[in-house]
Amino acid sequence: MKGPKVYKNFINGEWVKSRTNKTFENINPANTDDVVGIFQQSDARDVNDALNAASEAYKKWRLVPAPKRGEILYRIAQRILKDKERVARDMTREMGKVLVETRGDVQEAIDMTFYMAGEGRRSFGQTTPSEMPSKFCMSLRQPLGVCTMITPWNFPMAIPSWKMMPALILGNTVVIKPATDTPLSVANLVQIMHEEGLPAGVVNMVTGSGGAVGMPLIRDKRVGCVSFTGSTDIGRKISEACAPEFKHCHLEMGGKNCIIVMDDANIELAVDGAVWGAFGTTGQRCTASSRLIVHKKVYNKFAAQLVERTKALKVGDGLDKTVQMGPAVSESQMNSVLDYMRIGREEDRAKLLCGGGRFTGGKYNKGWFTMPTIFGDVVPGMRIFHEEIFGSVTDIIPARNFDEAIELANNCAYGLSASIYTQDINRAFAAMRDVYTGIFYVNAPTIGAETHLPFGGTKHTGNGHREACVQALEVFSEWKSVYIDFSGTIQRAQIDNQ
């Protein structure tokens, strides 16, 4: 009987085994009997090989005209579009979220690649008048060199594209470490990039653990930029590791996002948004709607409808077209979520309205399935109010009025996404102004970002940089100001301009 496919690292345009000769299994979280693939358990030697390849390739890639780099990215986007169904099904097998969502994940990679391909003919700088005669002034972007990327498991093709495509269009080269739970999606993307003409060494992939692969990718002095998406605790360590060399460091981290439901809201619409925002991707999103701040006048009506809708969700294998929520990505993630369910049950005053455990029996025995769970009457001070759970759990928090709702929304260490449901345009604009997050929605849940707007958050969510849109170019480039003096004399700027 044929065993699972063995996947290798991708270094300098070739698929190569790790120098460790060790591997790990990629397991389907909906069916642990299904081994999706065997991947390399790499170490610092493999990282060094990849960085050597990227450093050497940078010498030529940075000199390729940006429009030509864009043409390669355009071909890559077309190819991902052609292979969309195949790579989406692979993603569901290794990550667990339902097929309609993995198609959306792949579509984000398509959109981002097309978008950044266009930046090959833009990436605009400035031209500006000089304060001196016969002098020309302009600014332009320059690449950083080798950029390393550590990507998460919840959006295993979208987020790598958010990082790789802006880096590449600017002339950088890349070494990426995919999450150990979802390496196949990145391998599929890298294979497409290679087959569509990306030169050897421009993109390299090394699989393995964060300690053995991630830290060498961060600390190496050849690296000009580190881009990371993951937990705030790990992000803090990465920031500290980058600081001695003053490397560009881009961090996209946690969230504890809220939906505010006012007394004039369309309750049915708000419930729709809460179900999708809380339980889409099994709640395994940094933008998940994990706090529902509801005006007391409509609290009972909203809670009753939400519980009814949540109990009706069909949970199972994401490849089943009738399933609405898949499993947790791994056993450890499932156990973490179950632990928070226990914490919620033990919190003083919090009420378990539905869920609260693991699905067992029959098809569920071979997967890591958690129940869609709602806690009611949650207040500040409770751990489930403040801490990111990253699973199928949401809280309902009562608010007396609009001002208290805003205060509750901002009472959080994170600042990624928030939303409000209201028919009052004045309230909508006030909330838009006063809730301190990087993303805000009106009459929509906290998920649903588009690639042509900047993505990122405030406070402990990030360090000020943004992904997607033209703002992503700031992460992977430096500005250079250029002055051309054609006066034929020495002009000393402000000294001669007093």
Active site residues: 252, 286
Amino acid at 489: T
The SS3 of residue 379 is: coil
Instruction: Name 207's Cβ contacts closer than 8 Å, sequence gap at least 6.
Output: 7, 9, 18, 39, 40, 41, 42, 177, 178, 180, 183, 213
CA distances from 75 to 81, 417, 491 (A): 10, 33, 48
Residues 395 and 404: beta-carbon distance below 8 Å: no
Angle at 474 between CA 473 and CA 478, to 5 degrees: 105
Rounded Cα–Cα distance for residues 393 and 382 (Å): 14
Burial of 352: CB neighbours in 10 Å, binned 0-12, 13-18, 19+: middle
Q: How far, in Å, are 61, 205, 217, 222, 248 from residue 227 at the CA level?
A: 20, 14, 10, 15, 8
Chain-centroid distance of CA 248 in Å reads: 18
Output the six-digit token pair for 25. 């299994």
**Residue 218 parent element (H or E):** helix 215-219
Q: Which DSSP letter does residue 225 get?
A: E
What CA–CA distance (Å, rounded) separates 147 from 163?
Answer: 9
Q: What angle do CA 219, 220, 224 make, to 5 degrees?
A: 95
Q: Could you tell me if 205 and 39 are in contact, meaning their C-beta atoms sit under 8 angstroms apart?
A: no
DSSP code, position 97: -
